[in-house]
Amino acid sequence: NAGVTQTPKFRILKIGQSMTLQCTQDMNHNYMYWYRQDPGMGLKLIYYSVGAGITDKGEVPNGYNVSRSTTEDFPLRLELAAPSQTSVYFCASSSVLGTKGNQPQHFGDGTRLSIL
């Protein structure tokens, strides 16, 4: 059971470089999310998507971009890496219970990113 798969698990970038964090899920969930978690801090929502072709900003979207061309994939793009983007990035997915809210989120293992 793959669930939510994130790649890479670790990455070191130089300031100004760009990269894409990959996230794919095999549970046919409509909803997908990207969070970052800084040391000792809580999860902060970067972007989310409620279905293919639809994306919305979360609490901390600056410096990031996303796309959702398929139900399965939700990549996160860093265009000009900055030291402030050093963090652990988690992708998550969930399904909807109609008018009763969402099912719980399933998380990937995370991508540990350092910008030097």
Binding stretches for another protein (CB under 8 A): 31, 33, 41-43, 45, 48, 50, 56, 58, 88, 90, 92, 94, 97, 99-110, 112
In the complex, the smallest distance separating the C-beta of residue 93 from another protein, rounded to whole angstroms, is 11
**Separation in Å, CA 14 to CA 19, 27, 78:** 10, 34, 12
Q: Which of 115, 113, 110 is nearest to 23 (CA)?
A: 110
Structure tokens at 22: 């990959």
In the complex, the smallest distance separating the C-beta of residue 80 from another protein, rounded to whole angstroms, is 26
Q: How many angstroms from the chain centroid is the CA of residue 33? A: 5
In the complex, the smallest distance separating the C-beta of residue 47 from another protein, rounded to whole angstroms, is 11
Nearer to another protein, 19 or 88 (CB): 88
